[in-house]
């Protein structure tokens, strides 16, 4: 897979928000680690941050399951930013197996950059 964009001039920043993680169907922190690596491998300098106060370019919500506790709340507080929501084995409204989540996320992130 290739991204249509090369190295970016200023670092694109994604605010990562996690749900509480009570009974996750997916390994949420693994997803973020793998995403960071995946983006790096593609030559994309994207920063992933969990700092709430930082100005970001988009928000990635990582919910452990489809119920997506965080989604409704987060959309309010981060309103204005583009949002991608992982909801267990779903990304936004698409069913995705855990192993394919990173691929789909990179595609979506590329479409925002």
Partner 1 sequence: MPMMTGREYIESLRATKPEVYFLGQRIKHIVDEPMFQPHLHGAAMTYELAHHPEYEQIMTATSHLTGEKINRFTHVHHGIDDLVKKVRMMRLLGQKTGTCFQRCVGLDGLNAIYVTTYDIDQKYGTDYHERFKRYLLEVQKNDWMPAGAMTDARGDRSLRPSKQKHPDVYLHIKERLKDGVIVSGTKAHITGAINSHEIITMPTRTMTEEDRDYSVSFAIPADAKGVMFVFSRQTNDTRRLDGVLDAGNPKYGIVGGEAVIIFQNVFVPWERVFMAGEYDFTTELVETFAGYHRSNYGGCKVGLADVVIGGSSWIAEAHGIGKASHIVDKLTEMIAMAETCWSCTLACSYEGYRTPSGAYHINPLLANVTKLNITRMVYEWMRVGQDIAGGKIITLPSEKDLNNPASGKVLEECFSGKDGVPPRDIIKMLRLIENMSVGAGLPEAMHGAGSPAAQKIMIERRSGIEKKIELAETIAGIRKDRDFETIVGKDEKTHWDEVRKKIEERRAQIH
Segment contacting partner 1 (CB under 8 A): 11-19, 75-83, 91-99, 102-110?
91-99
* Closer to partner 1 by Cβ: residue 57 or 85: 85
60 binding partner 1? (CB under 8 A): no
Interaction between residue 66 and partner 1 (CB under 8 A): yes
A 10 A CB-CB count for 64 gives 23
Are 70 and 18 in contact by the 8 Å Cβ rule? The answer is yes
Q: Does 25 bind partner 1 (CB under 8 A)?
A: yes
- What b/e sequence results for 85-97 when a residue is b if at least 16 CB atoms lie within 10 Å of its CB, and e otherwise? bbbbbbbeeeebe
Decide if residue 68 touches partner 1 (CB under 8 A).
Answer: yes
Least distance from C-beta 21 to partner 1, angstroms? 11
**Choices 10-18, 36-44, 51-59, 88-96 (CB under 8 A): range interacting with partner 1:** 88-96
Expressed in angstroms, the distance from the first to the final Cα of the chain is 16
C-beta of residue 111 within 8 angstroms of C-beta of residue 58: no
What gap in Å lies between CA 65 and CA 69, rounded to an integer? 8
Q: Total number of residues binding partner 1 (CB under 8 A)?
A: 11
By the rule CB under 8 A, 75 interacts with partner 1: no
The number of CA neighbours under 13 Å toward the Cβ of 81 is: 25
Contacts to partner 1 by CB under 8 A: 24-25, 65-68, 87, 90, 93-95
């Amino acid at each position: 897979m290739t991204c249509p964009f090369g190295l970016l001039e200023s670092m694109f920043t994604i605010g990562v928000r996690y749900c509480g993680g009570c009974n996750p169907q997916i390994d949420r922190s693994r997803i973020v680690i793998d995403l960071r690596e995946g983006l790096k491998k593609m030559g994309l300098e994207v920063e992933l941050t969990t700092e709430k106060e930082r100005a970001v370019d988009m928000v990635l919500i990582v919910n452990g399951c489809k119920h997506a506790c965080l989604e409704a709340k987060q959309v309010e507080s981060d309103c204005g930013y583009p949002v991608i929501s992982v909801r267990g084995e779903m990304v936004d409204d698409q069913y995705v197996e855990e192993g394919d989540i990173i691929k789909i996320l990179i595609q979506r992130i590329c479409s925002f950059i």
